[in-house]
Chain A
Amino acid sequence: MLKTQAYNTGNDTVCFDEMLRADFSARECYRTLFEWLQRQSPSGIRAKQAEADAIFRRLGITFAVYGAAEANERLIPFDLIPRVISAAEWRFLERGIEQRVRALNAFLHDIYHRQEIVRAGRIPSELVNGNSAFLPQMMGFDPPRGVYSHIIGTDIVRTEEDGFFVLEDNLRTPSGVSYMLENRETMMHLFPELFAAHRVAPVERYPELLRQTLQSVAPSGCDGEPAVAVLTPGIYNSAYFEHAFLADQMGVELVQGSDLVVEDGALWMRTIRGRARVDVLYRRIDDAFIDPLNFRPDSMLGVPGLFDLYRAGRVTLVNAPGTGIADDKAVYAYVPDIVEFYTGEKPILKNVQTFRCSIAEERGHVLEHLEELVVKEVHGSGGYGMLIGPRSTRQQRADFAERIRANPGNYIAQPTLALSTCPAFAGSGIGPRHVDLRPFVLVGDRVRVVPGGLTRVALKKGSLVVNSSQGGGTKDTWVLED
């Protein structure tokens, strides 16, 4: 059903397609898939798509779209066509990611201790000590194994054959891993013959690796098998499905704040047999809510006294509080320096060029080139609060210029990237759609990167916004083995 002539993004931008070269020949890792796609009928694919949608709906894989109360359980669209990454490409990404997460963990350790990097003049003191994501309460504390961010989702975009860039380091509570796992399960159910024709690296070990990672950072005083629990804000949270899914897959309890109590120098959950000890808490609630006695006093989600217990080394929080400083968009611009400072190596993965509006010259450049740039709020996420220059109106640009001048430190700008495209099924046929990639990294007794990740795809023709809150979908990501 795939007509190569009709395979285009529908806009003039030339961008790298991961399946087809300019002469419509398939890149090596896509050859088998390309041939298979050409043999499929539109009705056959549509039937599979309907089957996939029904599977996801039944499973209750739901997602809350903020601001749309009535649609608070909307399905994230799933695209059937897998994204393929060659073994060599993956080895490169894996090395780059590992280097980056080690450096960022070293950075966190440093800024919560002697701040050597600030003393060395490599990053401005203000950027750390004046940053709202910096948590002074963490100063001088040593988390087990020195790990701060154990679970990381590194957002990567591609612009050409060898052009991989890190767009964001998510070091707080990255989500999406359940989609990676369920997408794979669904694809194996729908297209066993495609798996037989490829050597796809498995991702299903992730929950087991996650459990090992969590247990490996148990408090030093913990004897016996460390007890792990997943802390969720509850069923109305947009990622609740994922919290339940991970707890289930790891075989550990899924708890809410009200199930936990700090007593006798330990963390306990209330069970039908009385209280039971918790050694490692994988918390999926933000720093500000974990402990009403130490942070936001109005939090109903956390546990009073939890942070004191953590500081006393009696329980491990994953990820550690205060990791947000390392994925702050203002700090992002310095990550290449951070990597060099702590590893003594050149960064393997590049950053996207970033202009810091806090610096006068860079701000001047941004204000003059708003039409070409993407402007982001330093603390924004989910695709909200940003200006996409080439798609903006004069009025929107004037508004943003005003906002940047009023509070320059709150904004950064990046060039619009020609994100690579992958084939996606778009109702009537197959067309290239822009994608990004979030591999999931675990840091404990060692660094573990699961071969694969979450590919987000902008399903609207020509669109560059892949966020699910803005109409993006997901697809399965296949890392091929040699």
Chain B
Amino acid sequence: MLGRTASSLFWMARYMERAENLARLAQVGHRVSIIPDGMGGYREDWKATLASAGCLPAFEARGAKLDAATAQNFLLFDRAHASSIRNCLENARNNGRAVRTALTREMWEALNSTWIEFAAIDPAEVGPGRMVELLDWVRQRSGQLRGAMLGSLLRDEGFHFCQLGTFIERGDNTARILDVKYNVLLPVNEALGGERNQHQWDTILRSVSAVGAYRYFYRDRLRPRQVAEFLILRPEMPRSLRFCCDFIAPSLGALAEMTGGGAASLALGSALAAELRGTDLDTILRHGLREFLQEFLGRNAAISGALATDYHFD
């Protein structure tokens, strides 16, 4: 397999996963913006949405007014914004197109038709009514690519590069969402009888589609400690940091075995997975939640960098 092919598969999966996460964040932002804040306005918090999506600095650099319309346009359609959903879908598709032969027909069709249909959408015609439906559709299409991959792709190197793209991106996204709201998850909130923070915890869970899963798993009301544990440490939760690492490390191991290389990325990935398995929330809180999340983001990015070097991405 060419290094460029590996790189394209990795980025194809990353961009599709990113599009899905952005769609989820935009939906949460939209939902919050129509909930009254009890003071005559709405809870609207697009700033947090853009921060969670990792694109607040890019937006602020524009000097544009921040409101629902500008934020949504920036997240969904903006051609000049490298990580708009539009550009993610296009990049996913172009990466797939460059390695067309490494994809199955099902995967290519999922990628290609998603891009063709999205490109045909006129942003001016997507009113608030259709916004939710469109974002749901983006998430479904990401699911379709993933389903096509799981159901049709040979379990060789290519599969593992796709897996790594998906889970490195997912871990990054979940960590960012937590990082933006880490303060409301600190134990002090519960001590203060944090009923007022209830909706913040709810928003965090919604950002990773985990409200129902949380209730099912804990059989309990929302508590910041459990929300943090759920998204960081629970191996059952498919968007938790632990879960992502539990997939990253074996794929790195499989690649190392298949190719006889990959030592650097495997060492980083195994160490991170082992630490998440060996720690608990008290330890993390003692160490500092913010510091923990920042460190995770850095180490996750380092795995991505080592992968590119180990496997000759360019």
Contacts and interface: CB of A to CB of B under 8 A. Distances in A.
Residue of A57, A241, A254, A255 with most chain B CB atoms under a 10 A cut-off = A254
A58 B109 contact: yes
20 contacts: A58-B109, A58-B113, A60-B108, A240-B97, A241-B100, A248-B100, A253-B101, A258-B4, A259-B2, A259-B4, A272-B2, A272-B3, A272-B255, A272-B259, A272-B261, A272-B311, A272-B312, A273-B259, A274-B261, A274-B312
Interface of B: 1-4, 6, 94, 97-101, 108-109, 112-113, 116, 157, 255, 259-261, 311-312, 314
A271 B101 contact: no
Interface in A237-275: 240-241, 244-245, 247-248, 253-256, 258-259, 269-274
A235 interface: yes
| In the A-B complex, the 8 residue pairs with the closest CB atoms | A244-B100, A248-B101, A272-B311, A60-B112, A270-B3, A273-B259, A235-B97, A272-B6
Interface in A251-304: 253-256, 258-259, 269-274
A209 B314 CA distance: 33
A347 interface: no
Interface in A383-434: none
Nearest to A58: B109
A255 B100 CA distance: 11
Contacts of B100: 60, 241, 244-245, 248, 254
A262 to B, nearest CB: 16
Contacts of B157: 272
B101 A254 contact: yes
A68 interface: no
A248 B261 CA distance: 26
Nearest to B119: A73
A247 B4 contact: no
A234 interface: yes
Given A247-B101, A272-B261, 4 more contacts: A58-B109, A58-B113, A248-B101, A253-B101
Contact of B2 (A58, A60, A270): A270
A255 B112 contact: no
Contacts of A270: 2-4, 312
B265 to A, nearest CB: 11
Most-contacted residue by chain A among B1, B98, B101, B157 (CB, 10 A):
B101
A59 interface: yes
Contacts of A256: 4
Contacts of A59: 108-109, 112
Nearest to B261: A273
Given A57-B116, A60-B112, A235-B94, A269 B259 contact: no
A287 B312 CA distance: 28
Nearest to A232: B98
A269 B312 contact: no
Given A60-B97, A256-B4, A258-B4, A273 B112 contact: no
A253 B1 CA distance: 8
Nearest to A253: B2
A269 B260 CA distance: 18
Contact of B112 (A58, A244, A254, A274): A58
B155 to A, nearest CB: 16
B314 to A, nearest CB: 8
A234 B8 CA distance: 13
Instruction: Tell which of B2, B6, B116, B261 has the most Cβ of chain A within 10 Å.
Output: B2
A323 to B, nearest CB: 26
Interface in A35-91: 57-60
Which of A235, A241, A256 gathers most chain B CB within 10 Å? A235
Contacts of A248: 100-101
Contacts of B94: 235
Given A272-B261, A272-B311, A272-B312, A259 B108 contact: no
Interface in A310-342: none
A241 B112 CA distance: 13
B260 A271 contact: no
Given A235-B98, A254-B101, A259-B2, A273 B260 contact: yes
A244 B3 contact: no
Nearest to B95: A235
Contacts of B112: 58-60
B118 to A, nearest CB: 14
A259 B109 contact: no
Residue of B6, B97, B99, B112 with most partner-chain A CB within 10 A: B97
Contacts of B255: 272
The winner among A241, A270, A273 for most chain B CB atoms within 10 A is A273
A348 B138 CA distance: 59
A53 to B, nearest CB: 13
B6 to A, nearest CB: 5
A36 to B, nearest CB: 30
